[in-house]
């Protein structure tokens, strides 16, 4: 049976841990074996910390460090992966950058401390683009992470390693982060689920952009109940992050176990003609968004007014890059990739008036979204404008036959939701003619993660696609551009 442990869902594994039917050490052994089998094909977890993991497991098995056992989100000794942007004490943490290629932090990020307090065992660090910047997971330290559905394709970014680690059964749950779609795009490309929570739902701990809602931390998993479990482990007030607030009285897992149907669902393929999508993605998503009707929902094709959201997002993103990268650019410019230099310098050239305009527009969009959600319970969009592309490219060569202006130009579907302040989840909805995963982005009301997870769970059960995971990596070729 130990050889099949990696196929269990996280919820099943935790239930067995609680009953002492399986031990944390057995799960670590199963994960280690699975990682050895698939890692050469995908490069999702370039840094492992198995000795550290086993030490943690032994402490749990001896009854130590179990203070949170009765709390929501208790993981009971379940192995998880942590994105390589986030410090784990005593474990090589590179941020995907040559500058930090040999960096070993002495202290863990507060979120990692929280996950470990909840019984999560860190087994490895998942690969990420340099400093998390980019929609394809590669860097100069560890190379490229490949899509397990077709290893010639990208897994997306920037939580690409995390998405692949759960899709292939290397771990049961993966930690990640999201700025312009980094938990949602890898979910869409790998047929996993990833949620971008509301700002403040999960601590960021050590961020220098502590008062910006743009970047958030969150979970990835193979199915929605697993995702809810890991969000329960992460959520809550943290004194290191001034934006955080208390976890809900009713856990996300309990909410998913008793789902409430959204009454009115709005959907839009392109926000009213605001951007391009590949034709097949448009057709598949249009059809699959309508399937909420089969659940008994009222479904209408309508979009909020997103205003000049692309310009707003880039202004705010560039400002965040200035906070994070200005000093590094002065000292290590030759070791930083061009996309980061471009984005940081864009921020340095902005005027205070441009930033003030962006803040006013963000506030106006939040107010419009608030009004929109007075009528609708859920907003549904495609998860990405294209299917997964060539792993050797940093972005799609084209979208609907048109070249992109910059590396973020194809991210409006995700980045617009970031600016809106709403939580969003990537949910698989099918495959294209070449077998590449296609997904939807479900968007909820601010701090409405429970209702969002409930809707995602109902939709996931309708389609049954989560039963396809975990998978063995499959070789393939790059399909022609749409």
User: What radius of gyration do the chain's Cα atoms show?
Assistant: 21
Which CATH fold would you assign to the domain 2-468? Amidase signature (AS) enzymes (3.90.1300)
- Cβ neighbours, 10 Å, residue 7: 14
User: Which 3-state string (H, E, C) describes the chain?
Assistant: CHHHHHHCCHHHHHHHHHCCCCCHHHHHHHHHHHHHHHHHHHCCCCEECHHHHHHHHHHHHCCCCCCCCCCCCCCCCEEEEEECCCCCCCCCCCCCCHHHCCCCCCCCCHHHHHHHHCCEEEEEEECCCHHHCCCCCEECCCEECEECCEEEEECCCCCHHHHHHHHCCCCCEEEEEECCCCCCHHHHHHCCEEEECCCCCECCCCCCCCCCCCCEEEEEECCHHHHHHHHHHHECCECCECCCCCCCCCCHHHHHHCCCCCCEEEECCCCCCCCCCCHHHHHHHHHHHHHHHHHCCEEEECCCCCCCHHHHHHHHHHHHHHHHHHHHHHHHHHHCCHHHHHHHHHHHHCCHHHHHHHHHHHHHHHHHHHHHHHHCCEEEEECCCCCCCECCCCCCCEECCEECCCCCCCCHHHHHHHHHCCCEEEEEEEECCCCCEEEEEEECCCCCHHHHHHHHHHHHHHHCHHHHCCCCCCCCCCCCCC
- Reported as a single tens digit per residue, the pLDDT across 394-407 is 999 899 999 988 87
pLDDT at residue 1 in the model: 45
Distance CA 77, CA 54 (A): 10
Please say if the pLDDT value at position 3 is more than 90: no
Nearest Cα neighbor of 306 from 376, 362, 381, 377 is 362
pLDDT of residue 254: 98
pLDDT at 157 over 70: yes
Distance CA 177, CA 181 (A): 9
**Residue in the block written with tokens 């795009």:** 185
Q: Report the pLDDT value the prediction gives residue 410, as an integer from 0 to 100.
A: 83
> pTM value?
0.98
- Residues forming beta bridges with residue 125, ordered by sequence position: 47, 82
Encode pLDDT of 414-450 as tens digits: 999 999 999 999 999 999 999 999 999 999 999 999 9
* pLDDT tens per residue, range 106-150: 999 999 999 999 999 999 999 999 999 999 999 999 999 999 999
Task: Break the chain into its structural domains and give their ranges.
Answer: 2-468
Partners of 273 in the β-ladder: none
Question: For residue 408, what pLDDT is reported?
Answer: 82
- Residue 446 has a CB neighbour count (10 Å cut-off) of 18
Token couple for 242: 């001034």
Q: Convert the pLDDT of each residue in 318-341 to its tens digit.
A: 999 999 999 999 999 999 999 999
263 class by beta-carbon count within 10 Å (0-12 exposed, 13-18 middle, 19+ buried)? exposed
Overall average pLDDT of the 161-172 stretch: 98
| Res. 387: pLDDT tops 70 | yes
Per residue in 257-296, pLDDT (tens digit) is 999 999 999 999 999 999 899 999 999 999 999 999 999 9
Residue 63 has a pLDDT of 98
pLDDT of 2 > 70? The answer is: no
pLDDT number for residue 454: 98
Segment 20-33, tens digit of pLDDT = 999 999 999 999 99
| 41, burial (CB in 10 Å: exposed 0-12, middle 13-18, buried 19+) | middle
- For residue 482, name the pLDDT band (cuts at 50, 70, 90): low
């Amino acid at each position: 049976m130990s050889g099949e442990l990696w196929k269990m869902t996280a919820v099943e594994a935790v239930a067995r841990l609680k009953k002492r039917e399986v031990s944390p050490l057995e799960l670590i052994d199963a994960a280690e074996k699975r990682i050895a089998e698939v890692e050469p094909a995908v490069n999702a977890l370039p840094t492992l910390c198995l000795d550290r993991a086993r030490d943690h497991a032994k402490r749990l098995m001896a009854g130590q460090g179990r203070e949170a056992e009765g709390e929501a989100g208790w993981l009971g000794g379940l192995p998880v992966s942590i994105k390589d942007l986030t410090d784990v004490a005593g474990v090589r943490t590179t941020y995907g950058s040559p500058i930090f290629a040999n960096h070993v932090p002495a202290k863990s990020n507060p979120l990692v401390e929280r996950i470990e307090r909840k019984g999560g065992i860190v087994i490895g660090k998942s690969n990420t683009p340099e400093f998390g910047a980019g929609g394809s997971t590669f860097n100069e330290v560890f190379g490229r992470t490949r899509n397990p559905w077709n290893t010639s394709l990208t897994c997306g970014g920037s939580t690409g390693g995390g998405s692949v680690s759960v899709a292939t059964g290397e771990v049961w749950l993966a930690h990640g982060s999201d700025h312009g779609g980094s938990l949602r795009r890898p979910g869409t490309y790998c047929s996993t689920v990833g949620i971008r929570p509301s700002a403040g739902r999960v601590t960021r701990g050590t961020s220098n952009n502590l008062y910006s809602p743009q970047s958030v931390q969150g979970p990835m998993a193979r199915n929605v109940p697993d995702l809810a479990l890991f969000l329960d482990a992460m959520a809550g007030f943290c004194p290191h992050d001034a934006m955080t607030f208390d976890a809900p009285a009713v856990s996300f897992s309990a909410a998913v176990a008793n789902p409430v149907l959204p009454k009115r669902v709005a959907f839009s393929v392109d926000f009213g003609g605001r951007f391009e999508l590949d034709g097949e993605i448009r057709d598949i998503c249009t059809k699959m968004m309508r399937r909420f009707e089969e659940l008994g929902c009222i479904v209408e094709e309508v979009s909020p007014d997103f205003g000049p959201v692309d310009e707003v997002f880039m202004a705010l993103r560039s400002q965040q890059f200035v906070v994070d990268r200005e000093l590094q650019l002065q000292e290590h410019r030759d070791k930083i990739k061009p996309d980061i230099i471009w984005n940081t310098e864009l921020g340095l050239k902005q005027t205070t008036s441009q930033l003030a305009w962006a803040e006013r527009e963000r506030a106006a969009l939040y107010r419009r979204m608030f009004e929109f959600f007075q009528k609708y319970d859920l907003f549904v969009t495609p998860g990405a404008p294209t299917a997964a592309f060539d792993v050797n490219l940093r972005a799609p060569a084209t979208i609907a036959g048109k070249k992109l202006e910059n590396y973020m130009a194809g991210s409006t579907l995700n980045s617009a939701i970031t600016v809106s302040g709403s939580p969003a989840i990537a949910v698989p909805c099918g495959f294209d003619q070449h077998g590449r995963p296609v997904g939807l982005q479900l968007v909820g009301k601010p701090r409405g993660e429970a209702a969002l997870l409930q809707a995602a769970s109902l939709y996931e059960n309708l389609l049954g696609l989560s039963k396809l995971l975990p998978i063995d990596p499959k070789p393939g070729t790059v399909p022609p551009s749409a």
